[in-house]
Structure 1
Amino acid sequence: MKSKTLKSITFLFLMLIASPAIFAHALWIETKATGTKGKAQEISVFFGEFSDNDITPSAKWFSDLKDFSLVVISPSKKETKLTATALENKYQAFFTPDEDGVYTVVMHHTVKDVYGTMKLDYNSSATVLVGNAAKGNEAAANSNIISVFSKDVATAKQKTKINVNALYEGKEAKEQKIKVIAPNGWEKELWSNDKGEISFSPIWPGNYMVEFAYTEKAAGEHNGKKYDEIWKMATYLISVK
């Protein structure tokens, strides 16, 4: 009995000091890349391991992750807060476009609990093209501290180059590691150039995930617990035809 108890305590200790990847997985938005004025657009928020197609049931999301904020920004910069409803494997929300251009959907959440010595900060976004207008199709529409964006998302095609921009604190994220995950779980790590850009040509059709994670060395206190680092992740889904 003592041996089992010791093993349980040891496992818990290791979990608390381990990399946030154990806890963090990824939080991401899925929606159609195009929408229609006057028609409700579905927004889904998932949590899990995208590369393994491992989706965590909404009832098992850790800490206060379910309390994420979700905002849609219209092409004319009007912001609307969305309310998401828990389904079995995701949270779901809707908005109805009323103008032509590109809408930006932004998710953000700083986790209440500090894990080990890290504060966890999740960010995700998606863009929806309505009509043929390019108004609003810009990375700056997303005000999150860390973000990923592509002007090509609405026209993404197999074997055609897709350009992606990474931003941190409103500036180009230069020489940063950006991960691209293919629909079959294949992963590739790319380094952004001096403009904070990467590009890739998708081999297969389907959903690709772009992830940008950054760990800031910053000590502080969060909800009564000290931390030494802030782990930040941005996700962006690209559907390739």
Structure 2
Amino acid sequence: MKLAVFRAILLFIFMPFAGNASAYWMEVKGSGKLNEAVHIEVCYGNIDEFSIRHRDTGIELTRAGDFEISIQDERGNKTALPMIRKADCWEATFIPAHTGIYRILGINDSHPVVDRSKTGGKNIRPVDYLCAAYRVGTGKMISNPAQLLDIIATGKNGLMAVKAFKDGRVVEPKTPLRVFNPENWEKELLTNEQGEAIFKPTMPGLYIIREDWEDPSPGNYKGVAYSAVRHRCNYCLQVSAEEIVAE
């Protein structure tokens, strides 16, 4: 009986991502050195029934080009970056001129309303945020939020501390955050009194940390009425093999 309960708990806490689920994310590629180009790829795709992530190239990729991408340095200075379309992503590029940790930010508030009126559901206006960090040498990451939904992650001794914000303040205690590991298995975290949660990465690769909030304020966008706004922030965390510390 105890073994069965333990297995049930594991399945609840660490579940595979639902088949055919779709999302936006960023992949940041660079050498980590001064004066060498950093490539930011904004992607849209789905997770298949085998938990494999695929990039899409249809209409949703076209809409990914509506993201406004910027970088923020340690001093809080923000710089907007133009994007160009590639075969399976949109790409922005910047060249770090000084050492430190750069925050990479994105917002897309121009999605069409998800209209469910014909099926009896409620209409939702989606707003998406993206964020990541890129280190050049040494330095501290700016700790203040820069978007309505924002996430800041810091690693130490093989653990990752995640701090979530909403509207300029840390989120309420027990706010759920979802973590998708490189194999797209999902784990739920609950924030503490300081708006933080901790998890241990177990393999190198891309982790996506998600914060959701539904604002029940109704409105009208581009002629379509909606009853709520779904805000979603995806923090895109690239973990290297060197950052995985054995217990």
For the criterion TM > 0.5, the same-fold answer is: yes
Query: How many Å separate the matches in 2 of 1:166 and 1:35?
Result: 25
Counterpart contact for 2:36–2:95, Cα < 8 Å: yes
User: 1:122 aligns to what?
Assistant: 128
Matches within 5 A, 1:6-85: 25-32=22-29, 35-49=32-46, 52-57=52-57, 59-61=58-60, 64-85=63-84
Query: How many Å separate the matches in 1 of 2:197 and 2:88?
Result: 31
Which protein is richer in helix relative to its size? Answer: 1
Aligned-residue RMSD, C-alpha = 2.4
**In the alignment, residue 45 of structure 2 is paired with which amino acid?**
G
Q: CA deviation at 1:231?
A: 0.4
Cα 1:22–1:181 change in 2 (3 A) is closer
**Structure 1: 5+ residue stretches without partners:** 1-20
Q: CA deviation at 1:33?
A: 7.9
Query: How many Å separate the matches in 2 of 1:63 and 1:230?
Result: 22
Query: How many Å separate the matches in 2 of 1:112 and 1:187?
Result: 26
Kindly, what percent of the aligned residue pairs are identical? 23
**In the alignment, residue 166 of structure 1 is paired with which amino acid?**
A
Query: How many Å separate the matches in 2 of 1:90 and 1:195?
Result: 36
Counterpart contact for 1:164–1:198, Cα < 8 Å: yes
Matches within 5 A, 1:142-153: 142-152=145-155
Question: Of 138, 154, 158, which aligns to 2:142?
Answer: 138
Counterpart contact for 1:72–1:81, Cα < 8 Å: yes
- Give me the TM-score of the superposition, normalised by structure 2: 0.78
Cα 1:65–1:44 change in 2 (3 A) is closer
Cα 1:22–1:107 change in 2 (3 A) is farther
User: 2:10 aligns to what?
Assistant: none
Matches within 5 A, 1:1-241: 25-32=22-29, 35-49=32-46, 52-57=52-57, 59-61=58-60, 64-116=63-115, 117-134=123-140, 137-140=141-144, 142-152=145-155, 160-174=158-172, 175-240=174-239, 241=241
Q: Deviations 1:194-214 (Å, cap 9, x if unpaired)?
A: 211111112222221111111
How many equivalent residue pairs? 212
Counterpart contact for 1:111–1:119, Cα < 8 Å: no
**In the alignment, residue 118 of structure 1 is paired with which amino acid?**
I
Cα 1:145–1:192 change in 2 (3 A) is same
Query: How many Å separate the matches in 2 of 1:191 and 1:78?
Result: 31
**In the alignment, residue 53 of structure 2 is paired with which amino acid?**
N
Q: Deviations 1:175-220 (Å, cap 9, x if unpaired)?
A: 2110011111211111111211111112222221111111111111
Query: How many Å separate the matches in 2 of 1:222 and 1:229?
Result: 11
Query: How many Å separate the matches in 2 of 1:114 and 1:92?
Result: 25
**Structure 2: 5+ residue stretches without partners:** 1-17, 116-122, 242-247
Cα 1:33–1:214 change in 2 (3 A) is farther
